[in-house]
Structure 1
Amino acid sequence: MKDDTILSVGIDLGTSTTQLVLSRLTIKNFASAFSVPRINISKKEVIYKSDIIFTPLLDQQTIDAEAIRHFVAAQYSKAGIDKQKIQMGAVIITGETARKDNANLVTEALSGYAGDFVVATAGPDLESIIAGKGAGTNIASKKSRHYAANVDVGGGTSNLVVFDGDDVLDTACFDIGGRLIKVDKKTHKITYISPKVTQLITQLGLSLAEGSQASPETLAPIIQVLVQVLENSIGIGERSPYYDMFITNHGLRLDYVIPALTFSGGVADCLQENLPVDIFKYGDIGLLLGNAIRRSEIFKQKEVIHSLETIRATVVGAGSHTTDVSGSTISYTNGILPIRNLPILKMARQDEAQDVQPLAASIKEKINWYRVQNELSNVALAFNGLGNPHFSDIQRYAAGIVAGAAVLIEKHEPLIILVHEDMAKALGHSLFAQLPEHYPFVCIDSVKVENGDYIDLGEPIAEGSVLPVIVKTLIFG
């Protein structure tokens, strides 16, 4: 098979900013001439990066979908790209803009702007994972063979993820960002203070308010607290009395040591040792916060690795590879296929090694990565599996999955299980026995996926012996 190229678009809609990247992906068939095609991305070339704009909103909770459509059209025109030539892409919606209705509006507005859009609304945990992969923290962890964390400091939040190689060990989010206080660029008067910072100002007994004159001196007590909480978030220093106040959803478990970390997000571009003359040129406290982080204990006590990307630690596009699944190793119930654009939740190897109850607890906890504003959509649960499992191992996996995925089962979502090792047939039989009667499920193996991937499962072919599978991998740059 001749190498081919595809054009892909990635759009990142965040609380503060929106951006678009166009990529040319070279795809190559790595299979032999007589086997089923296995197509992977062999080369990625970013051919256009848009300007970064403030996310157009109709209100605090609703994306202006029409404005997004105009933005995308304008960027295609600026890049000299015909929208009909875009074959695939991904939209990642994060932060305050991550609302289920918005995702639908954006999908409708962008219909016709890419051949196959993956639209992901990401809550704080999934946003942390996406940013960490964009920053290359998982790659740094694999190279160093120790844990590595990414701290994505944006406009409204700081999202943390800890990698053990490609395995996601832990996530967290704090209400710390560069736009918690907005400042008029010319007059240096404060135009906005976030609710939590307003609460902090009261507790610190400061006289700052909207309309007050901002300066490094008057803002220093606030910056100091924000930085101390960030230090605490990765296990440095005595716990701040304001730590709990700034937690968005939960902190890291910190029952492990983080030797190294990366930074991404808009504030990562402000990690300067010396402040510029115009400290409020972005109309916020981002430069002050970045400078304070640069001088903090984080840089003294941890190895800070250079990120692949900072503010653009975001999705560039979606590639895909296709594989078949042997008829001897699949289990599925009729009537639930095809399924498209289902997000992958990959369990870490250390999770899989646990007994039934701890395994179930890990699955239950990580399913919540995909919860956005208390709305939970279905996910595909992925496992490494065992090369030569005992019957007791199969039973343990099945019991842990059924207990851990109870929230999906209660909603009667089809249970989609992917295993890398060759054990899907046996696991499928065990799941069938433990699930409610006639419960819809698919269990397949020999498919390699990671967190952040999306999967399509086609209708069975070859008299039901093969399921076509397309794994869409988010490409970062």
Structure 2
Amino acid sequence: MSEDLLTSVGIDVGTTTTQVILSRLRVASTGPGSAGKLAITDRKILFRGEIHETPLIDAETIDAAGVAAIVEEELERAGVSRAEIDTGAVIVTGETARRSNAAALVSELALELGEFVVETAGAHLEAVLAGRGSGAAAYANRENATVANIDVGGGTTNIAIFDGDAVRETRCCRIGGRLVEVDDGTVQGVAETLRPLLDHLDMTLAVGDDLTAEKLDRLGESMADCLADLLTGPPYPDPLAELAIGELPDERVDLDVVAFTGGVGSLVSTPTDGTVNRSAYGDIGVALARAIRDHDRLSDWPRLEPSEDIRATVVGTGTATTRLSGRTVGLNAQVLPLRNVPVLSVPLLPAADTVRRRAGNEDGPPGESNALSEEIRDYVEQGIAFYGDDADPGAAEKASEEWFFLAFEDIGELTYDRIEALAEGIVTAYDNAPYTGPILLLLAQNCGKALAQSIRRGQESSRPVVVLDELSVEQGTYIDVGEPISDDDTVPVVVKTLVFEE
């Protein structure tokens, strides 16, 4: 791996299409001199693969071998070997994430491609990645604007709202062009997720039916109505509540501009010739795009021309999933790299209530009480109970205990006594737990090396310790940690959500 360049792969296995991109991430110090925190300062797309139809064995099963062959073909066309890939992500999106073998597929791809390619899925994450890949996020930051990126694909529509440099919220629903498959005017397939809308319209649609122009127009217009309701609500009229993915926000948002991306979204942002058949792609995507483009409420906002439309999600996947830790980390090389390690968040810790000397240092100055031990022990026990065997780092040569990261958003004032008290609490909690894995910690503050050193001094055993700092990670996410770069004082980290809908 180059000291200042990373090669990243993005793979998007969607409802309708599968895509691969390769990009180059430049790593540089963001502070004065060479001692500042490292960050990814530039992203350049090296290779855009062709747009392939997602291979399926049947309605419930992805053709894993077919997907792997597509990836292999695109890497060969790009002239990049698997060994040259440093980071990246595989994301299974839309209705494909509901297939029975979705999780197994991405795990297999990740293991085949290398130690540090990750697997991830989930409509809300997809919304953010599409918005970053399209340029909507950059526009919001540059113009200090509120921008909605509306990613309309084959199985879902995922909206990410960017407010300046932050993601304000996401809104997702099961509306897409591939939910009805058509061949020469005859219905070939109807997704079960579309049933609430069909029932609301009192419309019957089954395999073998003729999809008349009247039905097609009515269906497209109703889908566009749902998208308008999703974007402008609350309130959210029926049947949107049944089509929604996750909780819907309870406040309206004033938007400055909108962008359309995704397979259907690309037909909204770059309209096709009016002579194109409305079922030209074997589905209702063209009709849906036209209904969205002509919808009165969806036309109220200025439209931003995206830098990427149909490839927005895969571009975001390949360029925006990797972070870098701070440079004051505590590492143990024998447990790196790590894959698929879950995160348990620890809220603001209480201040110590008494003062005493640390064990083994009775002659030294008094330090903070280890009133933290009991609370930290509770979180260690929760981690063991929550994650169990799910927290396997995935490498055969490593132990398969219940590994997990404790993520501390705020450990309090960064004094010597506070760090020593926290270290003692952590050592006590882990020593008394039925757990033989390493101590894995994430800190938002810049004190990883000091805390790791204190933990190692206080241990009676030689349990491995990894402490990464300057990272804020939410509970329910999983992370991958790569091998060190830049003189072994920074590691690349990918944060992901492993969510496959039932």
TM-score, normalization: structure 1?
0.70
Cα offset for 1:149?
2.2
Q: 1:198 to 1:6 in 2, by over 3 A?
A: closer
Counterpart for residue 343 of structure 2: 379
C-alpha separation in 2, matches of 1:164 and 1:402? 38
Structure 1 contact 183–285 (Cα < 8 Å) conserved: yes
Counterpart for residue 160 of structure 2: 161
Q: Which moved more, 1:199-208 or 1:405-414?
A: 405-414
Q: Which runs of no fewer than 5 residues in structure 2 stay unpaired?
A: 353-374, 388-402, 434-438, 447-468, 497-502
C-alpha separation in 2, matches of 1:404 and 1:161? 32
Structure 2 contact 62–101 (Cα < 8 Å) conserved: no
Cα offset for 1:124?
2.2
C-alpha separation in 1, matches of 2:133 and 2:23? 15
Letter in 2 for 1:456: V
Cα offset for 1:231?
0.7
SS in 1 for 2:149: strand
Counterpart for residue 364 of structure 2: none
Letter in 2 for 1:67: G
- Select the residue among 316, 322, 327 that pairs with 1:324: 327
* Greater share of residues in strand: 1
Counterpart for residue 493 of structure 2: 471
The 5-angstrom pairing of residues 274-313 of structure 1 reads 275-313=274-312
Structure 2 contact 230–236 (Cα < 8 Å) conserved: no
Q: 1:109 to 1:151 in 2, by over 3 A?
A: closer
Letter in 1 for 2:187: I
Q: 1:378 to 1:428 in 2, by over 3 A?
A: farther
SS in 1 for 2:91: strand
C-alpha separation in 1, matches of 2:81 and 2:329? 40
Structure 1 contact 189–211 (Cα < 8 Å) conserved: yes
Cα offset for 1:3?
7.6
Letter in 1 for 2:230: S
Give a deviation string over 1:135-171, Cα, whole Å, max 9, x none: 2332232233343222211111111222233433322
Cα offset for 1:250?
2.8
Letter in 1 for 2:209: S
SS in 1 for 2:19: strand
The 5-angstrom pairing of residues 389-400 of structure 1 reads none
Q: Does 1:229 align with 2:254?
A: no
C-alpha separation in 2, matches of 1:404 and 1:266? 44
Structure 1 contact 455–469 (Cα < 8 Å) conserved: no
Q: Which moved more, 1:22-31 or 1:210-219?
A: 22-31
Q: Does 1:210 align with 2:207?
A: yes
C-alpha separation in 1, matches of 2:88 and 2:310? 19
Give a deviation string over 1:155-206, Cα, whole Å, max 9, x none: 111112222334333223211001111111xx22221122243454454344
Q: Does 1:411 align with 2:411?
A: no
Counterpart for residue 55 of structure 1: 54
Q: 1:189 to 1:63 in 2, by over 3 A?
A: closer
SS in 1 for 2:45: strand
Structure 1 contact 3–26 (Cα < 8 Å) conserved: no
C-alpha separation in 1, matches of 2:344 and 2:414? 14
Give a deviation string over 1:1-54, Cα, whole Å, max 9, x none: x98544332111123221101223444455666637x54444433232112122
Q: 1:435 to 1:137 in 2, by over 3 A?
A: farther
The 5-angstrom pairing of residues 347-366 of structure 1 reads none
Cα offset for 1:427?
8.8
C-alpha separation in 2, matches of 1:122 and 1:27? 26
Letter in 1 for 2:407: I
SS in 1 for 2:117: strand
The 5-angstrom pairing of residues 240-251 of structure 1 reads 240-251=237-248
Cα offset for 1:267?
0.9
Q: 1:335 to 1:436 in 2, by over 3 A?
A: farther
Q: Does 1:9 align with 2:12?
A: no
Q: 1:404 to 1:233 in 2, by over 3 A?
A: farther
Q: 1:390 to 1:164 in 2, by over 3 A?
A: farther
Give a deviation string over 1:56-79, Cα, whole Å, max 9, x none: 234445433322222222112223
Q: 1:267 to 1:125 in 2, by over 3 A?
A: same
SS in 1 for 2:171: strand
SS in 2 for 1:92: strand
The 5-angstrom pairing of residues 38-77 of structure 1 reads 38-77=37-76
C-alpha separation in 2, matches of 1:436 and 1:240? 54
Letter in 2 for 1:248: I
Letter in 1 for 2:283: D
**Aligned-residue identity in percent:** 27
Q: Which moved more, 1:292-301 or 1:406-415?
A: 406-415
Structure 2 contact 12–20 (Cα < 8 Å) conserved: yes
When the two structures are aligned, how many residues end up with a matched partner?
416
Structure 1 contact 457–467 (Cα < 8 Å) conserved: no
Cα offset for 1:117?
3.0
Based on CA coordinates, which of the two structures has the bigger radius of gyration?
2
Counterpart for residue 19 of structure 2: 19
Cα offset for 1:81?
3.3
Counterpart for residue 354 of structure 1: none
SS in 2 for 1:303: coil
The 5-angstrom pairing of residues 94-133 of structure 1 reads 94-98=93-97, 102-109=102-109, 111=111, 113-114=113-114, 116-133=115-132
Q: Which moved more, 1:414-423 or 1:425-434?
A: 425-434
- Select the residue among 440, 456, 462 that pairs with 2:481: 456
Cα offset for 1:436?
11
Report the aligned-residue RMSD. 4.6
SS in 1 for 2:342: coil
C-alpha separation in 1, matches of 2:79 and 2:482? 34
